[in-house]
Amino acid sequence: MSIQWYPGHMAKARREAKEKLKLIDVVIELVDARIPLSSRNPVIDELAKGKPRIMLLNKTDLADPKINELWTSYFKEKDFAVLQIDAQKGTGVKKVPPLVLQQATPLLNKWKAKGMNPRPIRALILGIPNVGKSTIINRLANKKIAKIGDKPGVTKAQQWIKVGKEMELLDTPGILWPKFEDEAVGFRLALTGAIKEEIFDFQESTLFLLRFLSKYYPERLKARYQLDLIPEDVVELYDVIGRKRGCLMSGGLIDYDKVAEILFREFRSGTLGKISLELPPQ
Ligand code: G4P
């Protein structure tokens, strides 16, 4: 579910996340591996300050493995423990609880030094809508947890889910809003399905995708759309793919919406291959 965020929503989401974080020992942030920075809201750095952090790069089944490695190093340098996962198939999810405990070692040592009996380590999943928060919570809980809306303020009683003996997970995630003041961030969010296409111009998002693919994945474009050459002019490329795919209206004009639909679908489903739309800053 994706909603449009207004200042009221954002303030409420922030307040709710802050309240939840008070109960938490280890913060688990979830991002889309294809667009790790575009799919995170940096407000989390301020909200989670001082807590051990885990960064989960999700949807790695759709992202470029080489780029996943670059992002893993990028976040490790920023003091995150990082895992590459596919919450839908469950790949990598089993590694999450041990990593939570590892990140909580200083805290456990502190309790021990004070002679306290350790309680389970408490963790929270946080992220913007559609990054896979419910999917991973269900995996970790080993059952289906009812999904509440992405609207902040739609609350239900919070419960702790036991994950093994030593960890507890809050059954509702912390939801943050996507931050897309930058146009490119908006295109990336639209292309990956994090925000509705209508919020961002469908055609413009497609041109962004085509420009990106021409630069970083030209061979995939050539192979998928049987192109000998990639036209330098991106609109020409749009035309060529339209003609190849028979997206024509009466009079032989290209039906650009149809071409855009095909490109969106083939990108999102992974038909174009494993593609990442964002590279770590140099
Ligand atoms: P949220 O709670 O953060 O809002 O996200 P949610 O778990 O609802 O996941 C959003 C969409 O992303 C879902 O697809 C979900 O299946 C998909 N998803 C989650 N993790 C992965 C992953 O690792 N890889 C891939 N490929 N997809 C993932 P949906 O189309 O909204 O629903 P459905 O098709 O699963 O019914």
Instruction: Count Cβ atoms below 10 Å from residue 266 Cβ, excluding itself.
Output: 16
52: closest CA among 93, 18, 80?
80
Q: Cα–Cα distance between 226 and 217 in angstroms, integer? A: 14
**Smallest CA separation from ligand 1 atom 7, residue:** 132
Predicted pLDDT of residue 151: 58
Distance 76 CA to ligand 1 centre (A): 25
Q: Yes or no: say if 222 and 228 are a contact pair by the CB < 8 Å rule.
A: yes
Measuring CA to CA, how many Å separate 35 from each of 64, 71, 193, 253, 267? 11, 10, 11, 34, 13
Count of residues in the chain: 282
Q: Which residue has the tokens 């009683």?
A: 157
Q: Is the pTM of this model over 0.75?
A: yes
| pLDDT, one tens digit for every residue, the chain (282 residues) | 456 788 999 999 999 999 999 999 999 999 999 999 999 999 999 999 999 999 999 999 999 999 999 999 999 999 999 999 999 999 999 999 999 999 999 999 999 999 999 899 999 999 999 999 999 999 999 877 766 665 555 556 789 999 988 999 999 999 999 988 899 999 999 999 998 767 778 899 999 999 999 999 999 999 999 999 999 999 999 999 999 999 999 998 999 999 999 999 999 999 999 999 999 998
Run of H or E residues at 105: helix 105-113
**Smallest CA separation from ligand 1 atom 12, residue:** 132
pLDDT digits (tens, 9 = 90+) for 218-244: 999 999 999 999 999 999 999 999 999
Q: Yes or no: say if 43 and 176 are a contact pair by the CB < 8 Å rule.
A: yes
CB-defined site of ligand 1, < 6 Å: 58-59, 61-62, 86-88, 127, 129-135, 150
pLDDT digits (tens, 9 = 90+) for 144-179: 776 666 555 555 678 999 998 899 999 999 999 998
